[in-house]
Amino acid sequence: MTYDEIADLCKELEYRDKFRLAQLLIQLARKEEENQNPQKRVENSRKASPISKDSVEIIQYVIERLKKLKPSKTRSLLNSIDSMFQFQGGISDSEKEQIVSELQRLKHIRIDNNNRVTYL
């Protein structure tokens, strides 16, 4: 099949299927790129580590996003932070914990014994 044939068939899809197809194609292209250029991916992930940037900027970025998201449990808080950096090479669990600790230290959040997050 050629690109033009596929493009014509895609026009017949409903909008949700178009979004699903676009997401699938992006994932496949990223995986293929990683397989073809594994060294480049490793270098980029080191450069993109969010903790290596200025900590103040990172914390401010996370605070602004969390104001909108307001996850209510620790697990969803960590998942939210993880998703904030997924397109920049990802973030390690220890880096997420560092960010949460810093948010608590700066009194932006409080986590109680039941793992519930309170925004201050």
Domain ranges of the chain: 3-36, 49-119
Residues facing residue 117 across a β-bridge: 111
Output b/e per residue, 14-35; b: 16+ Cβ within 10 A.
Answer: eeeeeeeeeeeeeeeeeeeeee
Cβ(117)–Cβ(72) below 8 Å: yes
Tell me, which fold does domain 49-119 have in CATH? Answer: Arc Repressor Mutant, subunit A (1.10.10)
- Round the average pLDDT of the chain to a whole number and report it: 83
Taking the model in full, what pTM does it have?
A: 0.55
Structure tokens at 53: 């940037």
Q: Is the pLDDT of residue 41 over 60?
A: no
For position 85, what pLDDT does the model report? 83
In percent, how much of the chain has pLDDT > 90? Answer: 48
Query: Residue 73: its pLDDT value, please?
Result: 94
